[in-house]
A and B are shown apart, each in its own frame.
Chain A
Amino acid sequence: MSLKSERRAIHVDQSELLCKKGCGYYGNPAWQGFCSKCWREEYQKARQKQIQEDWELAERLQREEEEAYASSQGAQGGQTSLGFTKFEEKKSNEKARKVTTVKKFFTASSKSVPKKDPEEKSGKPVQAGGRERSADILRDLKGLFVPPWELASSAEVLYDKLRDMKEAKAPSPSLTRQYSIETDRVSKDFIEFLKTYHKAGHDVYKQCKVFLETIHHKKESNIDELSEFTQDFYQNTADKLQMYWKVPPNKVEEAMDQIEKFIMTRLYKHVFCPETTDDEKKDLTVQKRIRALHWVTPQMLCVPVNEDIPEVSDMVVKAITDIIEMDSKRIPRDKLACITGCSKQIFNAIRITKNEPASADDFLPTLIYIVLKANPPRLQSNIQYITRFCNPSRLMTGEDGYYFTNLCCAIAFIEKLDAQSLNLSEEEFSRYMSGQASPKKQDTDIWDADTCPGVKQMHRNLDLLSQLSERQERIVTGAKKLEKDLIDWTEEVTREVQDIVEKYPLHIKANSQALASIDSENVEDDRLPPPLQPQVYAG
């Protein structure tokens, strides 16, 4: 992510541009500093010489084979039966075929490299012919591209030219690139897409092609140089689209995505996990590390995801699938999309478990847990590849960049993880790491990762059922006890009541006083005030 604002200045001296032979024409680094004519002359000599040698070698080999065959024929000649001759014949045929194959192989370098050789690591053996051929193609390309102002309807013509070019290129497999179906499809889409940009699209296509050729010649150089070169290319193209062609920003972004797709589909093979770096070693280290940490439980990481909820465990599985899928994508942007997809699943899982939006405090531990569970293939290579060749505007700002950063954090954490970061004692940690002990696991964790989920579910269900029946028994016992208690209690109450009744027998006394009646005449009338009497005043 060398996104320093100041970029490598390109310092080119006039003298460096001229042909090394001093013919006055411009030279080209692709032709080792010669102009194309001088380069051809120089190269022709070397090539002729090699072809000669190859021929000689092939011929010698054939001669030797023939001699060997003749001598074996002579030695066994006396005792050959009819059947044996037949066998010999077969054998000699086989030998002859072998010889021609060898011959073919040697002559190949002068004409064309075998087209579909699966062993061939495309690009690696920059054969004599390959280089020459690609130079030719480059020139063809240049010839094909008439300046835009000479094109009547640039898009139409461009399309036709491209088609012609493809056809023209088809019989020259020497470019040592194997155009897979996908690559073809991507190119077609790309051309279709660029049609909408008219002249700018034409220009972009030209630049992409030139860029690819340049990269092709730079193949042996350091991966960091290639990365910087690619990043420069992205920036230049974006700048040019915006400044020169006045393409609106959102269209620029769209175009940049397509450009990335187009060039990275082609470069993927050469720049993903290149042999010149120790990416592969790092991959293995991380993989081993994650394997050694198989015992880490969600509880240790404080993962706020409850996998007992079926919906949540589904999401966890999806997240794991997404992160593993990253390795299968070719374009950095698609790889980023996988990381984003994985993150979204994690957020969903957290949301369902906690019922609130996930913060980074929740997200990072969960992502770490997912990475530990998934152990995604070629993790470091993928990270490095994205860092080196992704369009920087996507990686620096934006959501994808955030999730990518989190993934980097997760890996950094896993690499440095120690007892303290899992809230374990040193002793426990080293015991788990050495495999002497494993933490007390929950029922759900007893099963290996590759056990069929159905079987796991069944076992879990059986456990649940046995627990249920246990509880049922307990309830039945409880109910019986309660019933007994109730019966006992009733009896006790009855007994007590009887006891009391016996102790204090009921004597019904004669009612000495009649019940008071409001209507009777003499109810406490002595306490009542005397009735009011009408008073008569005289006068």
Chain B
Amino acid sequence: MAAGGGGGAGGSSSSKTYSFKVVLLGEGCVGKTSLVLRYCENKFNDKHITTLQASFLTKKLNIGGKRVNLAIWDTAGQERFHALGPIYYRDSNGAILVYDITDEDSFQKVKNWVKELRKMLGNEICLCIVGNKVDLEKERHVSVQEAEAYAESVGAKHYHTSAKQNKGIEELFLDLCKRMIETAQVDERAKGNGPSQSGGARRGVQIVDDEPQAQSAGGCCSG
């Protein structure tokens, strides 16, 4: 809203609603779409899914009395669209980077994205690295230790999920939201409570300011 990237909408702190934008990154076929569909619709591979599309989904949450509006932006994962990434993840509060545990390449892709995101957005953005398809544990090609160590090294959190068995997805999003709220709060405190209010007031003056001045001018004319 008003505070854009900050994610916090104006208003008194008690009835504050956070709006977060989360981008979903990952190579094609790692199960990005299944993941969000499972989260937002609790459906998997269902022929009766009523959703028209799974590329932009929203979810309203209430975490500890704080209202959160989550907007999940799916991105095209094909290699040819890689260069378009920055247009998608600009101003986002969180990123979910999905790889397929049976596919080493998809993990390499995640590493590329992490580098890019950190370069473009710094530490403002909450990163989640997600190993999807843990139901295929037998065919695992990306070791748990490696993935978790990597996530820690870049300041991201690692999650194991299975969209098929509905494992770990709820936790992933809940955790991400909590972290985003924290970041937003830290951000607010850093700016101080003052600016958001006085800034608004001051800017309000800009327009109101003209009024007495013009009125006095009017008086000068009539007089």
Contact: A138 with B214, CB < 8 Å?
yes
CB-CB under 8 A from A420, the residues of chain B are 80
CB-CB under 8 A from A405, the residues of chain B are 73, 87-88
What per-residue 1/0 map shows which CB atoms of B197-210 lie under 8 Å from chain A? Answer: 10110111111011
Contact: B52 with A348, CB < 8 Å?
yes
B21-76, CB < 8 A from A: 21, 24, 28, 32-33, 37, 47, 49, 51-56, 58, 69, 71, 73-76
Contact: B55 with A402, CB < 8 Å?
yes
CB-CB under 8 A from A416, the residues of chain B are 83
Contact: A139 with B218, CB < 8 Å?
yes
Cβ-based interface call for A62 (8 A):
no
What is the minimal beta-carbon distance from B8 to any residue of chain A, in angstroms? 10
B87: which of A236, A249, A412 is its contact (CB, 8 Å)? A412
Q: Which residue of A lies closest to B6 (CB)?
A: A5
A226 to B149, CA, bound (A): 49
A229 to B218, CA, bound (A): 25
A408 to B89, CA, bound (A): 13
What is the minimal beta-carbon distance from A46 to any residue of chain B, in angstroms? 18
Most buried by B among A40, A350, A396: A396
A179-216, CB < 8 A from B: 207, 210-211, 214
Q: A139-B214, A242-B10, A359-B33 are in contact. Are A35 and B220 (CB under 8 A)?
A: yes
Cβ-based interface call for A510 (8 A):
no
What is the minimal beta-carbon distance from B105 to any residue of chain A, in angstroms? 16
Q: Which residue of B lies closest to A140 (CB)?
A: B218
Contact: A3 with B91, CB < 8 Å?
yes
A446 to B207, CA, bound (A): 60
Q: Which residue of B lies closest to A203 (CB)?
A: B208
B-binding segment of A80-88, A158-166, A361-369, A499-507: A361-369
Cβ-based interface call for B193 (8 A):
no
What per-residue 1/0 map shows which CB atoms of B89-105 lie under 8 Å from chain A? Answer: 01100000000000000
A372-419, CB < 8 A from B: 392-393, 396-399, 402-403, 405, 408-409, 412-413, 416
Q: A139-B221, A361-B28, A413-B84 are in contact. Are A392 and B4 (CB under 8 A)?
A: yes
Cβ-based interface call for B78 (8 A):
yes
A9 to B195, CA, bound (A): 11
Cβ-based interface call for B11 (8 A):
yes
Cβ-based interface call for B211 (8 A):
yes
B91: which of A36, A211, A396, A408 is its contact (CB, 8 Å)? A396
Cβ-based interface call for A313 (8 A):
no
A36 to B210, CA, bound (A): 13
Cβ-based interface call for B174 (8 A):
no
Contact: A360 with B75, CB < 8 Å?
yes
What is the minimal beta-carbon distance from B196 to any residue of chain A, in angstroms? 9
Cβ-based interface call for A143 (8 A):
yes
A235 to B203, CA, bound (A): 9
Contact: B78 with A361, CB < 8 Å?
yes
A407-449, CB < 8 A from B: 408-409, 412-413, 416, 420-421
CB-CB under 8 A from B186, the residues of chain A are none
Q: Which residue of B lies closest to A26 (CB)?
A: B213
B81: which of A25, A139, A240, A364 is its contact (CB, 8 Å)? A364
Q: Which residue of B lies closest to A343 (CB)?
A: B53
Contact: A358 with B54, CB < 8 Å?
yes
Q: Which residue of A lies closest to B29 (CB)?
A: A361
What per-residue 1/0 map shows which CB atoms of A241-274 lie under 8 Å from chain B? Answer: 0111000010000000000000000000000000
What is the minimal beta-carbon distance from B68 to any residue of chain A, in angstroms? 12
Contact: B218 with A402, CB < 8 Å?
no
A399 to B69, CA, bound (A): 13
Contact: B204 with A239, CB < 8 Å?
yes
A302 to B28, CA, bound (A): 13
Q: Which residue of B lies closest to A358 (CB)?
A: B53
Q: Which residue of B lies closest to A24 (CB)?
A: B220
Cβ-based interface call for A282 (8 A):
no
CB-CB under 8 A from B210, the residues of chain A are 28, 210, 214
Cβ-based interface call for A356 (8 A):
yes
Contact: A25 with B217, CB < 8 Å?
yes
Contact: B76 with A233, CB < 8 Å?
no
What is the minimal beta-carbon distance from B55 to any residue of chain A, in angstroms? 4
A233: which of B17, B207, B211 is its contact (CB, 8 Å)? B207
Cβ-based interface call for B5 (8 A):
yes
Contact: B199 with A7, CB < 8 Å?
yes
Cβ-based interface call for B216 (8 A):
yes
Contact: A344 with B52, CB < 8 Å?
yes
A40 to B222, CA, bound (A): 12
CB-CB under 8 A from A22, the residues of chain B are none
A239 to B21, CA, bound (A): 22
CB-CB under 8 A from A6, the residues of chain B are 195, 199
Cβ-based interface call for A355 (8 A):
yes
Cβ-based interface call for A224 (8 A):
no
Cβ-based interface call for A17 (8 A):
yes
Q: Which residue of B lies closest to A25 (CB)?
A: B220
A75 to B77, CA, bound (A): 86
What is the minimal beta-carbon distance from B26 to any residue of chain A, in angstroms? 10
A399 to B73, CA, bound (A): 9
Contact: A5 with B4, CB < 8 Å?
yes
Cβ-based interface call for A232 (8 A):
yes
A365 to B65, CA, bound (A): 41
CB-CB under 8 A from B197, the residues of chain A are 243
Cβ-based interface call for B144 (8 A):
no
Contact: B2 with A238, CB < 8 Å?
yes
A37 to B214, CA, bound (A): 11
A347: which of B52, B202, B209 is its contact (CB, 8 Å)? B52
What is the minimal beta-carbon distance from B59 to any residue of chain A, in angstroms? 13
Cβ-based interface call for A133 (8 A):
no
A139 to B24, CA, bound (A): 54
Q: A239-B204, A240-B204 are in contact. Are A26 and B54 (CB under 8 A)?
A: no
6 A-B pairs (CB sep. < 8 Å): A6-B199, A35-B220, A360-B76, A361-B33, A402-B71, A405-B73
Q: A249-B17, A365-B76 are in contact. List 5 more A-B contacts (CB 8 A).
A: A7-B203, A142-B214, A243-B200, A363-B53, A397-B19
The 10 closest A-B pairs by CB, nearest first: A3-B4, A360-B74, A359-B33, A364-B76, A26-B213, A239-B200, A360-B55, A357-B54, A421-B80, A402-B56
